[in-house]
Structure 1
Amino acid sequence: MKEARVHPGPKVTIEDVPFPELPGPNYLIIKVVVCGSNPKDWAIAERSPGTTQGDDIAGIVHSVGADVTNFKPGDRVAAFHEMLTPYGAFGEYGVAPEATTFHLPAGVSFEEGATIPLAGMTAALGLYQRLGLPVPWLPAQERLPLVVYGAASAVGAFAVKLAALSNIHPIICVAGRGAGYVETLIDRSRGDTIVDYRAGDAAVVAGLRAALAGEKLLYAFDAVSDKGSFQNLMHVFDRDRGKLAVVLARKRYEGVPDSFHKFFTQVGKVHSDRYPGLKGEKKLRGRLGDQTFGAIMYKFFESGLLDGWFNGHPFEVVPGGLHGLQTGLSNLKAGKASAVKYVFRIEETPGLAGSKL
């Protein structure tokens, strides 16, 4: 079968690899119909060339392990592949644990499904496991301001959607070119608003202060974690009680005191505790383990897709299948994506023989 490998640049090569074997009794082999991409796919390749990238799988179950109970061959699914392990989304067939796989209803396309696994779970971990905010099934009962920085990104937009399901308002969204999309996610009648970062840092801070109406900020999800985002947030935070969730670990958070409550989302923790957090980070007491939480949230996503109160992120299909990955990842690196997720149809890969179930 064909599989793509990502190298610095980013440069993508297509290789012939053996058909995957089930790594354990709780895993599935999935025929990948559409794969999604994330900034980590080019970023990790810069320091770990040739590693397995691509973790957003949407496709059809090929086979299941002996202990898998909720899936069978032929099921339409989306899944979060375990990062940096063999057989990810960038190939004809991928492997994923049952706990991070969910059914796709007939009315949900593979393209939409491929936008959800990594970004949706990153948002959920940040809001509920790191910041300790109310979950949708036990929603907030009072005003609870939340800033989502980078609200038009896939992670940021999922954070806005989930916060709204948790009755968290006002949601103060920092966005730029994608502000039009973010507008469709918020409820102005509940105080939700958008602050345009293109006006400059001083304007962002002023906009945040105006939206908070004199309150000090207690909760922020920083889906950017770069370009001055966290420094801007520190101007409005309650420095004693505030909590900040960030998405980049290899970052010096200059201007954020070491004593401040900041948390790294680290989506890989829904698979394993081996993934690192931030130095000095403290786990919130009373939280479920991330692996248990992840399994619950993927069932929650599945239920929402089935009933129509949850959906994926806007997407753009990059032509060429696996051969389109280099273009898509280069565009991600260049910052060209706004309110859109790049996805790739495997069957469009030139020269693909076409594996069958």
Structure 2
Amino acid sequence: MPKQVIVHSSIESVEIIDTPIPTPKDHEIVIKVIVSGTNPKDWKYPLWKGWSHNSGDDIAGIVHSVGKDVYEFKPGDRVAAAHEFGTENGSFAEYSVALDWVTFHIPHNVSFEEAATIPSAAFTAALALYSDMDVSPPYLSKEQEGSGEKTPIILYGVTTAVGAFAAKLARLSGLHPIIGVAGRAASFARDLSDYVVDYRAGEDSIVSAIEDILAKEGLDRKVRYGFDCVNEQGSLETTLRLIDTNGGQICTVLPPSLFSRTKENFKWPEGVKGTNTACPQVQTTLKDFGYIWARLFSRLLADGRLTAHPYEVIPGGLNGILIGLQKLRNGEASALKYVYRIEETGKVAAPKISEANAATKSSQDTKPVKDFPFPVKDEVSSSS
């Protein structure tokens, strides 16, 4: 019988259980998982909510069966998808389930490993830019390069998967200069950004460096767009110092009430629109947005305008899930995604968990995040 992984809320163990192949409902697609990707939420949600479940959401595989209302996919198709957050049959399994509108065909030039890095992070980046902020999408944008027009954007955490996809999409939309804030992965950050600022220099140095960049580019000292893809250690407060208080916009990947310096007392500055970008919206309130961007991902990947995120394969298939989640929890990932080749389960030995690794905890383990990752919107604007 097919297997799936249940991630225990302690993030110290998992359980591999037998699970029948799901039967797809109306708009569902059952996918034989070839490669599963991982995201930070895959360990955070079980731990913070105390919920043991199959927390994987990034799927790359082959269509096994489809629901009665699915017409764009058929058995045998190579696809990637974002599993519906918080539901059964996640991607840490031999068979997973996704909704058809957030599923996309994998072009022949893209591997399953590459495809598994894309869904959740790319949808989040697209939501931030094109739904939560008013950036013009690539298919509507006028080319700015050579026109003398400049629209800068600050991406704090540009080498995270979400930040990297945001940088790639922002470039396709003609935003310039792209100012990335990064640390260890400076080389990758330079590939994504026009300018890179090292966050390790401290808040005042970051702000000063970005102000110098803006001056060099002949721009105002405040920018219209900012995206905090890190959400820790003052990243939001630093970015906000550079956002225009006359209509500037900023997005975060977590609600500021959970990670800002003032937590539940946090308020957006007057004149700034702030939004907590939540990926599950593409499966609930923004279905059309999810549909459009899923199809566009295929097109952009096929012609090379969009590329996958760097990745590292954790050996052992389902037996390696815990290793990857603990490495994410311990902050070991830098500018890469951990992925798992499901067929390796039982065939390739997974790395052993060292006592040191098992004992290491992130400082976030005890955060009071009972509402993570909702509310879907954590927004206050000057008009409210």
Q: With the length of structure 1 as denominator, give the TM-score of the two structures.
A: 0.89
- Size of the alignment, in residue pairs? 330
Following superposition, the deviation at residue 252 of structure 1 comes to 4.7
Do the aligned residues in 1 keep the contact of 2:243 with 2:250 (CA within 8 Å)? no
- Once residues 324 and 9 of structure 1 are traced to their aligned partners in structure 2, the CA distance between those partners, rounded to angstroms, is 16
- Once residues 261 and 349 of structure 1 are traced to their aligned partners in structure 2, the CA distance between those partners, rounded to angstroms, is 46
**What's the counterpart of residue 247 of structure 2?**
241
**Match for 2:280 among 243, 252, 268?**
268
Do the aligned residues in 1 keep the contact of 2:234 with 2:261 (CA within 8 Å)? no
| SS at 2:192 equivalent | coil
**Match for 1:299 among 282, 292, 295?**
295
Matched, 1:121 2:123: yes
| SS at 2:29 equivalent | strand
**Match for 2:83 among 62, 76, 81?**
81
Following superposition, the deviation at residue 215 of structure 1 comes to 2.4
| SS at 2:258 equivalent | coil
1:47-71: CA deviation from partner (whole Å, max 9, x where unpaired): 1321231110000000111121111
**What's the counterpart of residue 132 of structure 1?**
134
In the alignment, residue 88 of structure 1 is paired with which amino acid? G
Following superposition, the deviation at residue 351 of structure 1 comes to 6.8
In the alignment, residue 266 of structure 1 is paired with which amino acid? A
**Match for 1:167 among 174, 181, 199?**
174
- Once residues 96 and 229 of structure 1 are traced to their aligned partners in structure 2, the CA distance between those partners, rounded to angstroms, is 33
**What's the counterpart of residue 253 of structure 1?**
260
In the alignment, residue 185 of structure 1 is paired with which amino acid? L
Do the aligned residues in 2 keep the contact of 1:220 with 1:245 (CA within 8 Å)? yes
**What's the counterpart of residue 155 of structure 1?**
162
Matched, 1:199 2:211: no
Do the aligned residues in 2 keep the contact of 1:146 with 1:217 (CA within 8 Å)? yes
In the alignment, residue 313 of structure 1 is paired with which amino acid? H
**What's the counterpart of residue 58 of structure 1?**
60
Do the aligned residues in 1 keep the contact of 2:158 with 2:192 (CA within 8 Å)? no
**What's the counterpart of residue 36 of structure 1?**
37
**What's the counterpart of residue 279 of structure 1?**
none
| SS at 1:263 equivalent | strand
- Once residues 341 and 188 of structure 2 are traced to their aligned partners in structure 1, the CA distance between those partners, rounded to angstroms, is 24
Following superposition, the deviation at residue 18 of structure 1 comes to 2.2
In the alignment, residue 77 of structure 2 is paired with which amino acid? D
In the alignment, residue 342 of structure 1 is paired with which amino acid? Y
Q: Between the two proteins, what is the percent identity of the paired residues?
A: 46
1:185-229: CA deviation from partner (whole Å, max 9, x where unpaired): 23xxxxx20001122222211112112224212210111111110
- Once residues 48 and 122 of structure 1 are traced to their aligned partners in structure 2, the CA distance between those partners, rounded to angstroms, is 24
Do the aligned residues in 2 keep the contact of 1:88 with 1:95 (CA within 8 Å)? yes
**What's the counterpart of residue 285 of structure 1?**
none
| SS at 1:139 equivalent | coil
| SS at 1:325 equivalent | helix
**What's the counterpart of residue 216 of structure 1?**
222
- Once residues 64 and 267 of structure 2 are traced to their aligned partners in structure 1, the CA distance between those partners, rounded to angstroms, is 49
- Once residues 185 and 219 of structure 1 are traced to their aligned partners in structure 2, the CA distance between those partners, rounded to angstroms, is 17
**What's the counterpart of residue 27 of structure 1?**
28
**What's the counterpart of residue 340 of structure 2?**
344
Do the aligned residues in 2 keep the contact of 1:139 with 1:168 (CA within 8 Å)? no
**What's the counterpart of residue 113 of structure 2?**
111
| SS at 1:83 equivalent | coil
